[in-house]
Structure 1
Amino acid sequence: MARSFNKLGKIRKAKQRAGNHSSHKKRKQQAKMKNASVHVKNLSFRSLKDAEILALSKGLNFIPNPTNKNVKALLQNDFKEFSRKLRCKYHFCRNNDLPLHPFYENTGYTPEKTCQTLETYIDKTQIELSSIELYRGANNISTQERKALHDLKNDQSIVIKKADKSNTVVIMDKKEYIKEGIRQLNTHHYESVEKPNIAEINSIIQERVRAMKEKGSLDKQTFHYLTNVNETVLRPGRLYLLPKVHKLNTNQNNAESKMPPGRPIVSQIGTATEKIGHYIDHFLVPIVRNQDTYIKDTTDFINKIESLKLPSSCLLISYDITSMYTNMTFPELIDAVKRALEDTRAHIHKMIKIPIPDPTDLLFLLKCLLENNVFEFNGHYYRQIIGAAMGAVPSPEICDIRMHEITKQILCLYEHKQNILFHGRFRDDGFIIFNGNRNEAERFFTIANSIHNLLKFTYEISESSMVFLDTEIYKGNRFENSGILDIKTYIKPTNTFQYLHRSSAHNKAVFTGFIKGECIRHARNTSDKDVLRKQLLEFNFQLTKRGYSKHEIKPIIEETLSLDRQNLLQSNRNKSNTKTIPNVLVTKYDPRIKGLKNRIMKHWKSLQNDDYCKMVFKSDPIIGFSKHKNIGDMITNSTLT
């Protein structure tokens, strides 16, 4: 009986342990799913499986480990291209230290073989690469998750996009997505058109480009860039929407449409106007940078704000210009650019290193760009008839130039402009420091909202704190002591912290660089050390949730806390615009390949034995890793299929 009793007791305990283990495993899975769900916004009527949520929660920039078997062959092809570049550099070394032309394109020219020293390096390194070992590592995505991605890609009833102003992955019903697109296309900003004659549009542009070359307005490199167009592959633009999930009604009934408003982006890649867009933008950027309200980026904004000693009663004001890009007419945009070119021509001459075209030619190309913004959506063609398309390269500069004129008009009519202590604008967002009362400040926006038929200003006024760009400006301890506003990094309440997942098939340097970059951003944006410590502590916590090790985070955070903030604020100003051609081997990163750098460098020093090679190849080669397809490449598309 004793033995029987003991045996039964052991069985009961084993079952209890198994039950506890099962409960623990279940709780762990539930917690995992809860954390994953934060990064995925399902607005469709499709019920997502656990594997689909887990796969999407990794983020659209997550790269699954590559599975292709011809890794060595691909690496040899990449080294072949690297060898071609080395030979070109050998033959054309006299131009080695010159800055790159702004419209430089790889010609693919293959020169004759060079000296024995360089050819020996190339041959020996090819042998080294042919014997490189491939390591078999753990897969970073499960079989179920790979299948889930395949199922999501092939589901024709849904559309998957990145959320506007965040990295959240959004799943929408295709019908609702199309309905939102048509709602926007039925406004006065667009018109429906027949299938466009892309060849005719390209012919008009090319004819003008050739005329500019004959006048001497284009150098050889720029002319080649603008005319190197394969007409057979040109296509209309493609409209896609980025869902503004931050504007969703959280109380919306599931039975109703849950599609939020979308930000319309017209992709210009592969269009007849893509290259002239880059060309136009090159001449407009110096004009915008010369504006008195111009803000380059957050660092520039902080430097300007921290140079001011302000009265304690000043008001902090931020404003937003609603739909700035799509609410300006073509004639007013073209006329604004024309006036800006006339006013700043001397300034442009100092900034631009290539021939400056006649303003009539530049304005002709600008007119072509605006009036031929034809795109496809859901199998139909449309043309934008008001505004500059978000997605076209020069659109921000074109609208900035007109917006600067409008703000000057507002100030001419504004009775209290002497009370404006600071006024800066970054695209459609503005920031004002005002030394007066609220009624006087609001008068500025009363004028602003009456000066243009389509543009409307929304604004906030505060006596203590205000958010602008990715910073929060407030009156803290420093302001009380010295009259200089305090600043800290602003974290949006809707931020889901969907950082690049640590298990993604990226080079280790990418993760280190990301952590360091974010830490430096916090340190640069935050004036109070105690506040900075709290922000970095939170950053550390969020990183660990994305698979990062404390051992790789802690040293970077400690180093960041010891940095001089003033040096960080000045570092961007000291960057040179000169771009020289380094020795770069470009290849796809594959975690199975180990010791690539060592094999590239093994015989590199032998080049120093030749006086000519020693002069040409002064710096060590760099490995530039391109990426394999990420989840976004796999499951998202700018067209509806």
Structure 2
Amino acid sequence: MSIYTTITASLPFIEVDLNLTPQQMSMFINGLKYIIPCQSRFSGKSIEQLVNERYQSISTTVKNCLKDHRIPTANQRAEEAFQALRCILHELQSKKLSKKLGKRAKREYNIVQSIRCLLRNRSDIVIRRTDKSKVFYIGKATDFARKAEEYMLKTKAYQEITNGRCPLADMLHAVQTLLASFVKQGALTKQQSNKISPNLNKLELAPIFLNFARRTTFINGIDVTRKLEQYVMDGHFRSTTKFVTVDVTDLYSMIARQGALEALMRFFEKHSDHGKIGSLAIDHIMRMARLILDTNCFAYNNKYYKQCRGGAMGSAFTQVLANIYMYEWEQHLMKHQEKHNGIYGRYIDDILMATNQTVDEIKEELDKMKNKDVNININYEIHTSVNFLDITIKNNNGQLNTSLYHKPTAKPYILPYTSDHPRHIHRNIPYAALLRAARICSDVHDFNSARIRIDMSLLLNNYPPNFILKRFYRFFQVNNAISVLNELNEQVYQLLHQLLLHQPTRREKELHIMVEDPIRSPTVLQQKI
């Protein structure tokens, strides 16, 4: 491995002997988001074929968007616009590549093809992306099979479908039959039915949940930082304040299905509008919920399986169902924390608490919660310094300190500068990284450490030094904080930190729109105008 010792942004995790060339390893280092340039030039298709394919894809998307907003797609103006689109695509596809770009595109195309050939001939390995760190993992197929089997035995959440038939057709038929019955009953219009079919996960229950549980639900690390600083402003943060982190084990696959559905029913009975969410009666939603859980099937190792406990990980519906189930479980802890002027908040299966009680008093309450529900297994830690989500939180003798947290296994991966993405995406990356750091870091020196880390990560991903310098300067210039860049001015930084911390993030803006009236008018059932 001596040929790979050059400093790089992020090495892939490789646990098998692949005998990669330096060029092949470099392509793996570029990560999953990397796009090689000018891929269509090597497809073997004619210019007309490529133009037609791209035109059909883009024009269909645009026309559907126009139709959603009741804008004509067949008048003279629209026809002229689509004709201009075709001409632009033809011009771009016909343009001759520069000699330098052409050589690079051909070289990278050949490297990718050589990797594909290598992987096709190695049936004994699997290639995946690592959880949350955006780098490749290549390991033994037998190890993956063993781990999958161990997980199935541990959770007892999956059972094999032994009839040998693919369940997809039956699942689609069940979905279509159910939605057709709702249309017939007038609960859904045909257009609404089409919007949520065949993916029932688009029935957005999350805004309804957040509308009532927002106070104790963390959206991200920035949200956590705000709540902690408000805790200080309210006069509750002291030298005795401790932080508690609680992790719920295998939440999605361990919650009892019937118990979760009963919790969902109670939630709707309490929070619906005369027994309805939009035009859908509670009974309609419960029937769809059962259908989603009953049709959680997948193929693995040439066999079909059905999930018989919990819900599918990655499913939007499973997440909100788990949240509602947990919301009932956590009521006692929420009231306990409120009674003792503490903080309680949860991000899916991660809980953060702040309290001035003694360690023994906290343990007593948490041990009670351990025995409350056999399906919810928790592990907790109590300290004056903890890591939660992407934040390190410290109590320095009664002074709150927050800074960015990076897991030991986290790689300094950023989209490589050489990736064939639109250039504005590369321009936005330094600004967004500094914005996140300024919102979370409560101290100017912690912010400066984060800035240096961002700088190094960008350099390691081939961003030119002058490009980085200009993007950094723009961030401080736009936010009237040049003195923070030049001399680490603490006073100016605190103004910057407070200003940016309390600006809503893009995610929060989206949620604000979604939760305006999620019960009477769910977003997915609204008609665009």
Q: Specify the TM-score bucket, using the shorter chain as the normaliser.
A: 0.7 to 0.9
Q: What is residue 146 of structure 1 aligned with on the other side?
A: 112
Is contact 1:315-1:461 (8 Å) kept? Answer: yes
Relative to structure 1, is the Cα distance of residues 135 and 515 closer, same or farther in structure 2, using a 3 angstrom cutoff? same
Distance 2:453 2:109 in 1: 33
- Which has more radius of gyration? 1
Question: What secondary structure, in the 3-state scheme, does the structure 1 residue paired with 2:193 have?
Answer: helix
Aligned to 2:359: 438
Q: CA deviation at 1:365?
A: 1.2
Aligned equivalent of 2:466, options 541, 551, 560: 551
Alignment of 1:131-280 (within 5 A): 131-132=91-92, 133-136=95-98, 137=101, 138-139=103-104, 142=108, 145-154=111-120, 155-187=122-154, 188-194=156-162, 195-227=165-197, 275-279=199-203
Determine the C-alpha separation between the residues in 1 that align with 2:295 and 2:464.
51
Partner of 2:14: 42
- 1:394 is paired with a residue of what secondary structure? helix
Partner of residue 410, structure 2: 495
The aligned counterpart of 2:38 is 66
Letter in 2 for 1:178: A
What SS does structure 2 have at the residue aligned with 1:571? coil
Structure 1 residue 203, shift from structure 2 partner:
2.7
Structure 2 CA distance for partners of 1:393 and 1:283, relative to 1, 3 Å? closer
Deviation string 1:349-372 (CA, Å, 9 cap, x unpaired) is: 7xx7xx331111111111111122
The correspondence of residues 143-542 of structure 1 with structure 2, limited to 5 A, is 145-154=111-120, 155-187=122-154, 188-194=156-162, 195-227=165-197, 275-279=199-203, 282-291=204-213, 292-309=215-232, 310-346=237-273, 355-409=278-332, 418-463=339-384, 465-476=385-396, 480=399, 485-542=400-457
TM-score norm. by structure 1 comes to 0.67
Whether the 8 Å CA contact 2:9–2:411 is kept in 1: the answer is no
Counterparts of 1:345 and 1:44, CA distance in 2: 54
**Deviation, structure 1 residue 336:** 0.6
- Residues 326 and 388 in structure 1, CA contact (< 8 A), matched pair in contact too: yes
Secondary structure (helix, strand or coil) at the match of 2:353 reads strand
Alignment check: 8 A CA contact 1:321 1:428 kept:
yes
- 1:498 positional shift: 2.2
> Against the structure 1 CA distance between its residues 305 and 495, is the aligned structure 2 distance closer, same or farther, given a 3 Å change threshold?
same
Write the letter of the residue equivalent to 1:534: S
> Aligned pair in 2 of structure 1 residues 504, 442: CA closer, same or farther (>3 Å)?
same
Distance in 2 (CA, whole Å) between partners of 1:301 and 1:37 is 29
Q: Aligned pair in 2 of structure 1 residues 51, 384: CA closer, same or farther (>3 Å)?
A: same
* SS of residue paired to 2:313: coil
Contact kept in structure 2, 1:51 and 1:144, CA below 8 Å: no
118-127 or 177-186: bigger deviation: 118-127
> Hey, what's the Cα distance between the residues in 2 that align with 1:559 and 1:348?
52
Partner of 1:102: none
RMSD: 3.1
CA deviation after TM superposition for structure 1 residue 213, in Å: 1.6
Q: CA deviation at 1:81?
A: 6.3
Q: Secondary structure at the match of 2:217?
A: coil
CA distance in 2: counterparts of 1:457 and 1:85, whole angstroms: 45
Which ranges in structure 1 are unaligned for 5 or more consecutive residues? Answer: 1-28, 97-109, 230-274, 580-641
Match in the other structure for 1:586: none
Aligned mates of 2:439, 2:230 — CA distance in 1: 15
Give 1:428 shift. Answer: 0.2
Identity of aligned residues (%): 18
Q: Per-residue CA shift, 1:472-530, capped at 9, x if unaligned?
A: 112359x54xxxx2211112222221222221111211111222211211111112122
Whole-Å separation in 2 of the counterparts to 1:286 and 1:183:
36
Kindly indicate whether the alpha-carbon contact (under 8 Å) linking 2:9 and 2:461 is maintained by their aligned counterparts in 1: no
**Unpaired segments ≥5 residues, structure 2:** 480-495, 515-529
Shift, 1:417, TM fit:
6.4
Q: Which moved more, 1:491-500 or 1:282-291?
A: 282-291
1:315 and 1:435 in contact (8 A); partners too: yes
SS at match of 1:217: coil
Q: Is the 8 A contact 2:47 2:90 kept in 1?
A: no
2:492 corresponds to: none
